Amino acid sequence: MVTTVSVREDVATAEPPRSAGRRRARRRTYLWSYVYLAPMMVLLLAFVVYPIVASLGYTFYKWDGIGDPTDFVGLDNFRQIVHDSIFWRSLGHTFVYAAFVVPTQLVLALALALVLNNKRLRFASFYRTLFFLPVVTSAAVIGVVIQLLVSNFGDSINDLLLKLHVIDQRVDWLGDPHFALAIIILVGIWHTFGYNLVYFLAGLQTIPDELYEAARLDGAGPLATFRYITIPMLRAVGVVIVILAVIGTFQIFDLVQVLTSGGPYFSTEVVNTYIYHLAFGGSNANAVQPDIGLASAASFIYGVLLIVFSVVQVLVLRSLAKRRATGGKA
């Protein structure tokens, strides 16, 4: 890119001498611009763009990751993935995870943001810090702590919850397929809740006080104010928050890998752990040989699904926000 441009500029300098100095200065600026930009572009092209293209290439080979891929199998890897029930189950678990985590986080975060946004409330930023803190902790390490708590003191937790009548019989927390996923969901809600809280607080702060003032003068109660001012004014930010939350949950890996490694019997396998186990060998009961081709095919299918899903999501949420906004005005 740099060379072609400088060649063209060389031809251009054969012009009247008056502008030659300025041209040379501009050419030097361009040249240094490319130098400044180059490291970022190299990292981007080599580690973000190239892998997207390259992963498609691997999908046509049966390859364990050692040496060069030579065993061409055509679309066999795709066929295998599409017929693998565990792939579909892990896709299902990923959706279940997102379906529980996102709405719960959004509702709780909005409620807490409304409380903390009250200007008369003192120490609001201290409380915000308390609820935000899990975000800066490592999901893997949190997974280890929860593992320790549950595997050593699952009985104590059972005793406590039995006493509180939350459960009516003892539970094998990480050994029971249903509860293992539930625990991952709970920890997932806890871990990234703070992002949504901060996003909602930022959104609430963009709403001008005069609107609330005017509503109060018109005799609107807190519920009416929430319904007719807060919600409509949060729509634009809300769309971004939902998209970020959904994209975030679909990337889940650390918590699952540390807490259950996808077990028991694949009951908590999500797509990213499924791909990891295919590519690098599983710590699961049916540990498989590394199969990069198969893992790449699964990655590719998931990547396409995610892109389609994000585009649809953006379009739907945008039009929904727009329609409601115009409907509200009419």
Partner 1 sequence: MTRRRVVTVMTHVALLVSGLAWLYPLFWALGSSLKGDDDFFSEGLNPMPSHFLWANYLDAWREASFGRYFLNTLVITLGTVVVTLVVTSTAGYVLARTRFPGRGFCLGLVSATLFLPHGYTIIPVFDLMQRLHLLNSLWSVIIVQASGGVVFGTFLFMGYFMAIDRELEDAAQVDGANFHQTFARIMLPLSGPMLATVGLFTAISAWNSFFIPLVFTLGRPELRTLAIGMYAFIGENSTEWTLLCAGTVITLAPIILLFLLLQRFFVNGLAGAVKQ
N- to C-terminal Cα distance for the chain?
53
Q: How far is C-alpha 311 from the chain's CA centre?
A: 15
- Per CB under 8 A, contacts with partner 1 among 143-182 are 143-149, 152-153, 156-157, 160
- Site mask for partner 1 (CB under 8 A), range 70-109, x = bound: ----------------------------------------
User: For partner 1, which residue of 190, 212, 226, 228 counts as binding (CB under 8 A)?
Assistant: 190
Among 99, 111, 140, 316, binds partner 1 (CB under 8 A): 140
**Residue of 10, 20, 24, 28 interacting with partner 1 (CB under 8 A):** 28
* Subset of residues 242 to 281 that bind partner 1, contact rule: CB under 8 A: 244, 247, 250-251, 253-254, 257-258, 272, 275, 279-280
Adjacent-strand bridge partners of 71? 62
Contact 293, 57 (CB under 8 A): no
Q: Which is nearer to partner 1, 53 or 330 (CB)?
A: 53
103 to 132, contacts with partner 1 by CB under 8 A? 115, 120-123, 127-132
Locate 183 and state its tokens: 């625990």
Residue 289 makes contact with partner 1 by CB under 8 A: no
Gap between the Cα atoms of 176 and 94, Å rounded: 18
Quick one: 82 or 240, whose CB is closer to partner 1?
A: 240
Nearest approach in angstroms of CB 43 to partner 1 is 4
Instruction: Select 60 or 300, whichever has its Cβ closest to partner 1.
Output: 300
Nearest residue (CB) to partner 1, 201 versus 330: 201
Minimum CB distance to partner 1, residue 283 (Å): 8
Q: How far apart are CA 195 and CA 241, in angstroms?
A: 9
Min dist CB 206 to partner 1, Å, is: 6
Exposure string over 74-84, b if 16+ CB within 10 A, otherwise e: eebbbebbeee
Residue 138 CA to residue 144 CA, distance in Å, equals 10
Q: Tokens at residue 136, please?
A: 């800066």
Scan residues 214-233 and list those touching partner 1 (CB under 8 A).
Answer: none
CB of 225 to partner 1, least distance (A): 17
Tell me: does residue 46 bind partner 1 (CB under 8 A). Answer: yes
> How far apart (Å, rounded) are the C-alpha atoms in residues 174 and 263?
9
216 vs 327, which CB is nearer to partner 1? 216
Shortest Cβ 59–partner 1 spacing (Å):
10
Task: Give yes or no for a contact between 190 and 101, defined as CB atoms under 8 angstroms apart.
Answer: no
Cα angle 269, 158, 103 (rounded to 5 degrees) comes to 50
- How far from chain centre, in Å, is Cα 189? 13
Q: How far is the CB of 76 from partner 1 (least distance, A)?
A: 17
Q: How many other CB atoms sit within 10 Å of the CB of residue 110? A: 22
Distances (CA, A) of 134 to 49, 138, 139, 189, 278: 32, 8, 9, 10, 30
The count of residues interacting with partner 1 (CB under 8 A) is 92
Tokens of 9: 């500029």
Residue among 19 and 206 whose Cβ is closer to partner 1: 206
